[in-house]
Amino acid sequence: MSGIDDSLLNEADETVRVRLIVNGRKVACEVAPRETLVDCLRDSLELTGTHAGCEMGACGACLVQLDGRAVHSCLIFAVQADGATVDTIEGLSERGAIADLQAEFHRRNALQCGFCTPGMLVNAHELLSQVTQPSREEIRDALSGNYCRCTGYEAIVDAIDAVAKARGTSGGVT
């Protein structure tokens, strides 16, 4: 890679090609440099499961996995992710990685309007991949960056707690 080409400076907002592996599939998008990853996912790739809420990293509705770690897709420009692997709620859902979490959220009414749910699930998925038996306090701490304005959180914590215990009992990780 070389230094900057001066002509680049006069090309603000000209689209650039970004290559990603999204949910296991190679994709290429034309994006303006100022376009965030969440906008690219929703508008260019029509993966609307990732929700754009506050668009400033406070609400957690836009969480996706970037190279295996949960990040806010509103706080990264799509060009920055060029070459990266992105897993959205659609991918995690389709390959069954969070089937038990989804079932438990459903069973315990851990959602009402559902706007926050994709972010909650991505976050819970990461938590349980790092800490197999989190305490309720640890679950609450991990969720501190995810807003839910419907449920009061108790059912969400219950659901994650139940899945952690179930996975521990079955001896495996899904």
Smallest gap from residue 122 Cβ to other proteins (A): 8
80 binding other proteins? (CB under 8 A): yes
Backbone angles phi, psi at 9, to 5 degrees: -65, -25
95 binding other proteins? (CB under 8 A): no
Helices 99-107, 154-170: crossing angle, 10 deg rounding: 130
Smallest gap from residue 153 Cβ to other proteins (A): 11
- Largest interatomic CA distance in the chain: 60
71 binding other proteins? (CB under 8 A): yes
Going 38 to 158 to 143 to 172, the CA torsion angle's sign is negative
Rounded Cα–Cα distance for residues 52 and 98 (Å): 21
23 binding other proteins? (CB under 8 A): no
3 binding other proteins? (CB under 8 A): yes
Smallest gap from residue 10 Cβ to other proteins (A): 8
115 binding other proteins? (CB under 8 A): no
Rounded Cα–Cα distance for residues 174 and 118 (Å): 18
Helices 99-107, 117-130: crossing angle, 10 deg rounding: 120
55 binding other proteins? (CB under 8 A): yes
Cβ closest to other proteins, residue 144 vs residue 170: 144
150 binding other proteins? (CB under 8 A): no
The DSSP secondary-structure symbol of 27 reads: E
CB-count burial class (<10 Å; 0-12, 13-18, 19+) for 13: exposed
Cβ closest to other proteins, residue 57 vs residue 106: 57
Residues that bind other proteins (CB under 8 A): 1-4, 6, 8-14, 16, 32-36, 39, 43-44, 55-57, 60, 63, 66, 69-72, 74-77, 79-80, 82, 123, 126-127, 140-142, 144-146
